[in-house]
């Protein structure tokens, strides 16, 4: 006999929506985006917002609650489906302990399966910091990210990170693309949680060197982001790991010898005398 404990498992229900007297099979594996159509009998599509490797995103009006929302349509692929289930589980977890929405984390409203696609419904936010910074620079307008505004944004990011860290969670992929603006006037932002371990320009040294890491890698990434928003330039451009390490050393000084000795990847970038190749 095998013994299992209920505490070892977690269950959440996934609503499957289908039209009456029809099979669930769809001839077209790519979900068609039709403006002014209604998805799942509830979400009235008003605008196409963009697409990514495994999803499309639209703005929609929730006919039940009377508010605008963001609808993420996951591509019909098992790996994308499984990854998105992880995203749902994660958002459910972090939202559960922040019922008053005070921690600047993206809110999950709904999720369901319809026409062979998984849908994730979240609050509707504005541009991410990367796109907004790029637009601001290209328009030759007054710099948006002034010191007072950066102070407000920094506090909100720190509140979000503190909350995640208190839950035993390392964000792991903090970058301008994952910080979305909620209000331009109030300088409110929200973190869109990712399941990826850091983008290169925001990698902490311990990640590059193959060392064990903790919540401190999030603080490194945040520092890189703030420097970028302040200066308008990426602090450590992604030009290969050796160049990244060289730039880091140029900015903050030599990397601690003990880190180099313990790093499983150190030999790829440093000589036996711990000089960069």
Torsion angle of C-alpha atoms 120, 121, 122, 125, degrees rounded to 10: 100
pLDDT at 121 over 60: yes
**Whether 190 contacts 104, CB under 8 Å:** yes
Q: Could you give the CA distance from residue 235 to residue 224 in angstroms, rounded to a whole number? A: 6
The reported pLDDT for the residue numbered 272 is 94
**What is the C-alpha R_g of the chain?**
22
Q: Which residues contact 186 (CB under 8 A, 6 or more apart)?
A: none
For the chain, list the domains and their CATH numbers.
14-123 (1.10.510.10), 129-269 (1.10.510.10)
Give residue 197's pLDDT band: very low, low, confident or very high (50, 70, 90).
Answer: low
Per residue in 200-215, pLDDT (tens digit) is 899 999 999 999 999 9
- Tell me the average pLDDT across 131-154: 91
Instruction: Check 7, 101, 173, 218 and give the catalytic one.
Output: 173
- In angstroms, the CA 165 to CA 154 distance is 16
Global pTM? Answer: 0.86
**Across all residues in the chain, what is the average pLDDT?**
91
Whether 79 is catalytic is no
Element of type H or E holding 55: strand 55-62
Distances (CA, A) of 187 to 16, 136, 150, 154, 224: 38, 15, 9, 10, 19
- Nearest alpha carbon to residue 43 among 53, 54, 35, 51: 35
Residue 244 — pLDDT band, cuts 50, 70, 90? very high
Report the pLDDT value the prediction gives residue 19, as an integer from 0 to 100. Answer: 85
The sign of the CA dihedral 147, 148, 153, 156 is positive
- Residue 52 has a pLDDT of 86
pLDDT tens readout for residues 36-94: 999 999 999 999 999 988 999 999 999 999 999 999 999 999 999 999 999 999 999 99
Question: Residues 29, 30, 31, 36: what is their CA dihedral angle, to the nearest 10 degrees?
Answer: -140
């Amino acid at each position: 006999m095998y013994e299992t404990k209920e505490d070892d498992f977690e269950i959440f229900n996934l609503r499957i929506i289908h039209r009456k007297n029809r099979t669930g099979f769809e001839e077209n594996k790519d979900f068609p985006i039709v403006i002014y159509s209604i998805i799942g009998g509830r979400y009235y599509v008003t605008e196409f917002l963009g697409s990514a490797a495994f999803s499309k995103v639209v703005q929609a009006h929730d006919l039940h609650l009377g508010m605008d929302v963001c609808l993420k349509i996951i591509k019909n692929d098992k790996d994308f489906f499984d990854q998105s289930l992880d995203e749902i589980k994660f958002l459910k977890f972090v939202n559960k302990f922040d019922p008053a929405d005070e921690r600047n984390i993206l809110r999950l409203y709904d999720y369901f399966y319809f026409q062979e696609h998984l849908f994730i419904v979240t609050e509707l936010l504005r541009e991410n910091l990367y796109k907004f910074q790029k637009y601001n620079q290209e328009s030759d307008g007054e710099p948006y990210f002034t010191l007072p505004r950066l102070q407000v944004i920094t506090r909100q990011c720190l509140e979000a990170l503190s909350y995640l860290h208190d839950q035993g969670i390392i964000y792991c992929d903090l970058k301008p693309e994952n910080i979305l603006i909620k209000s331009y006037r109030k300088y409110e932002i929200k973190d869109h949680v990712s399941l990826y371990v850091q983008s290169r320009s925001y990698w902490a040294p311990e990640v590059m060197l193959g060392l064990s890491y903790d919540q401190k890698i999030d603080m490194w990434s945040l520092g890189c982001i703030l420097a970028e928003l302040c200066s308008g330039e990426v602090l450590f451009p992604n030009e290969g790991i050796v160049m990244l390490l060289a730039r880091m050393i140029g900015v903050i000084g030599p990397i601690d010898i003990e880190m180099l000795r313990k790093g499983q990847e150190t030999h790829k970038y440093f000589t036996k005398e711990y000089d960069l190749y």
